[in-house]
Structure 1
């Protein structure tokens, strides 16, 4: 079988899509596909080498057809055989895929299916489309924890009408996009205590003020008794510094509407070893009279008052004494449907202003994450 052969497979709504307007489907454990957009396609076809570390691996185009069974859309993708063979030949992908099928938890907000229903309602029918195939960034993670942050102080591009631009700019100015250059676009986080997911969408993100967004970021990383949180967040800070440096010097693109995806494996990072569970349970039993606020302070490692020393012992044990395997936290830039070449940008001054807002957002995110691990 050559590289040009194809195989028809079922494409399912991607259960770990947490934001965005474009529908995303999963066609194999290591590959997802995103509704075709010409600007995004051109970006991935000509992506600069220095950005590949910070973007999903691009795998080409795939044709997806839609059928209706009792008014429910089903998708079939004509996938290149070599992509499927690569997934099937990887034992770790097969193991993780089987594990995830058995362990899909409640609380996952299926944003991809909501996008499909929205589009069907507006168009009346779902048409066949080309899709862009991309690396499934969380395909090997057992319990993916994902945070989608919209980057920049402005959320309009060169293709936005004046009326729409005024509306969006007003909304952005009155959100954390305007004050911090970052805004929650979507999140889901596996919680070990309840064995399910906590999900937030972009509508929740619009309601957050600076303090609320900071709390969500803290909660995302201090998710129960997470091991090596300092190391994981430090790794992300280091990558953010490199990304900030690249975006401040590159002279090819304006990344209108792009987002930053932060992710880690909640199963590996958040599953304490027996020693941690025993210590945490003992601590909880000894302090059952604490208020919800006090317990929340403990969960974010913000110790105060007479219990400071006792809590610090538990916290340090969780970080240094456990030999559990730890999943790595990572980041990627995503969403390039409105990315434009600087050479094609007519309103150059607006593009420069937007670029400064992106760098402002990255700098603020770095400062917030640093304050989280320093507290």
Structure 2
């Protein structure tokens, strides 16, 4: 990474984010801990008004930065004047080591997004800086990130969409798993430990899937070794149940066209001697005895992992909290808030927005539970 000094910040060369699997805007990696994406006013306002109970389910907001594009021999190079507090704790040596480990099979989606931003949207046409939002790199600590980008909900057009855009997105939902399941694959990469490569799918693959195809891809996502990674499936179910509880009780935002990012570390130390049979299914069994109709769980916590506690929600059901399994890496975060709007800014109820997202979450949890149950 080349670094130059300018005023009180550092002018840093940034690279396309190699682990971007979906989306239509470009992502750059500033450091191993920080990425940035083009500024959108509504997304900025979302992070400015983010409730405390949603911070475990979104990327960490780190501020704004200007990004400049320079053309050298027709090959664009990108620079950002990064504040010192972003660079201060950067582990550059570990960053370089991890960069050398990136395997074949990644789809370079970020590069195509950058080309589209420049060609279609006219980014950097005036040779000036473009404003970007800095966010925590959700997979920065993972050695071989397995990532799944899901578009959530049965409705994906924003209240600010044009009539033409609304029709396009309505048709896209109606012709895909968005209509039947409330979720659609927008991109996926899975590290294959057996071949030391990545398997990648893009949004066009996701649009063509039927319900059964989506279920198969979800199983494949957690199947990066010789058999199912049950520990990560169970941990993911746990996180998604907590997210369902938070979204079903929040009254701050309408989430138009947001996505859900699922991820875990596919790296396995000494894979040649790895014994998949040692994975336990006990944890999966602990969370499987639930009514998927309302996601309720037993009010007893004596069988939950250490640290878990049950909390009663406004709907009268009990949900597990504080149950993170430190031996696993699976996590889920909501992303893409360019069309998210404060409910106080919308005069009438936007039917089908939060209901569609919750419908998608219930179906996602149900599918993952069926995968865990075998």
TM-score range, shorter chain: 0.7 to 0.9
How far apart are residue 268 of structure 1 and its match?
A: 3.1
CA offset digits 1:43-97 (Å, max 9, x no partner) = 1122110100001111000111111011111111000112101114xxxx742x2
Corresponding residue for residue 371 of structure 1: 370
Corresponding residue for residue 250 of structure 2: 250
TM-score (norm 1): 0.81
1:9 has 2:12 as partner: yes
Corresponding residue for residue 316 of structure 1: 277
Q: Determine the C-alpha separation between the residues in 1 that align with 2:58 and 2:205.
A: 26
1:145 has 2:149 as partner: no
**Gap change, CA 1:7 and 1:170, over 3 Å in 2:** same
CA offset digits 1:277-332 (Å, max 9, x no partner) = xxxxxxxxxxxxxxxxxxxxxxxxxxxxxxxxxxxxxx634558xxxx96511111
Q: Determine the C-alpha separation between the residues in 2 that align with 1:153 and 1:239.
A: 22
How far apart are residue 122 of structure 1 and its match?
A: 2.1
SS at match of 2:24: coil
Corresponding residue for residue 239 of structure 1: 239
CA offset digits 1:96-143 (Å, max 9, x no partner) = x23322212111111111011122222566342011000001111111
How far apart are residue 162 of structure 1 and its match?
A: 2.0
SS at match of 1:41: helix
Following TM superposition, the consecutive aligned residue runs of length 4 or more in structure 1 with deviations greater than 6 angstroms are none
SS at match of 1:352: coil
Which residue of 111, 116, 119 maps to 2:117? 119
Corresponding residue for residue 44 of structure 1: 47
Q: Which has the larger radius of gyration?
A: 1
CA offset digits 1:144-200 (Å, max 9, x no partner) = 110000000111110112232122112201210000000001111111222111111
**Gap change, CA 1:140 and 1:255, over 3 Å in 2:** same
CA offset digits 1:214-257 (Å, max 9, x no partner) = 00000010222368x33322221111111111111111101111
Contact 1:268–1:327 at 8 Å: present in 2 too? no
Contact 2:27–2:36 at 8 Å: present in 1 too? yes
Quick check: which one's helix share is greater? 1
1:64 has 2:67 as partner: yes
SS at match of 2:333: strand
Q: Determine the C-alpha separation between the residues in 1 that align with 2:66 and 2:57.
A: 26
Contact 1:268–1:326 at 8 Å: present in 2 too? no
**Gap change, CA 1:357 and 1:275, over 3 Å in 2:** closer
**Gap change, CA 1:124 and 1:219, over 3 Å in 2:** same
SS at match of 1:333: strand
Corresponding residue for residue 28 of structure 1: 31
RMSD: 2.0
Q: Determine the C-alpha separation between the residues in 2 that align with 1:332 and 1:143.
A: 18
Q: Which runs of 5+ in 2 are unaligned?
A: 1-6, 282-325
Kindly report which structure 2 residues correspond to 1:189-208, keeping only aligned pairs within 5 A, or say none.
189-208=190-209
Corresponding residue for residue 321 of structure 2: none
Q: Determine the C-alpha separation between the residues in 1 that align with 2:156 and 2:121.
A: 25
Q: Determine the C-alpha separation between the residues in 1 that align with 2:122 and 2:170.
A: 31
Q: Determine the C-alpha separation between the residues in 1 that align with 2:28 and 2:123.
A: 17
How far apart are residue 273 of structure 1 and its match?
A: 5.3
Q: Which runs of 5+ in 1 are unaligned?
A: 277-314
Matched pairs, number: 321
